[in-house]
Amino acid sequence: MLHLVYLPRYALEMERDMMVISYRKLWKLLIDKGIKRTELKSLAGVSTNVIAKLGKNETVAMETLAKICTALNCDIADVVEMTGDNGNKN
C-alpha cells in the first residue's frame, strides 16, 4: 500500500532555511576553564546522554542549557551558536 504525505510549501521552505546548532563555543569555554566533559556533567547535573547530544550538535532542552550556563557562570551566547546550512554565522 502506498501512502502519500502532503507537506505544505512553508514546511519545505522551513526545512531548506533551517538553522544548525553548534556547541563549539561550549567546548572552547571548557578548555579555557580547564573543565572536562565529565566534570561538566557533574557540575551542571546533566546526564551522559545530554553530553553525547551536545557532542553531536543535537538539540537539547533550554532547561539543560540554563543548567550548563549556571554551572559555568556564563550566558547562553557563550555556549551555543546558530549557523545556516552553509556554515555562515547568523
pLDDT in tens, the chain (90 residues): 454 555 555 444 545 567 789 999 999 999 999 999 999 999 999 999 999 999 999 999 999 999 999 999 999 999 999 887 544 454
Domain over 19-83 is classified CATH 3.40.640.10: no
Q: Which of 12, 17, 29 is nearest to 84 (CA)?
A: 17
Kindly list the domain boundaries of the chain, sorted by start residue. 19-83
DSSP 23: -
Beta strands in the chain (DSSP E): 20-22, 81-83
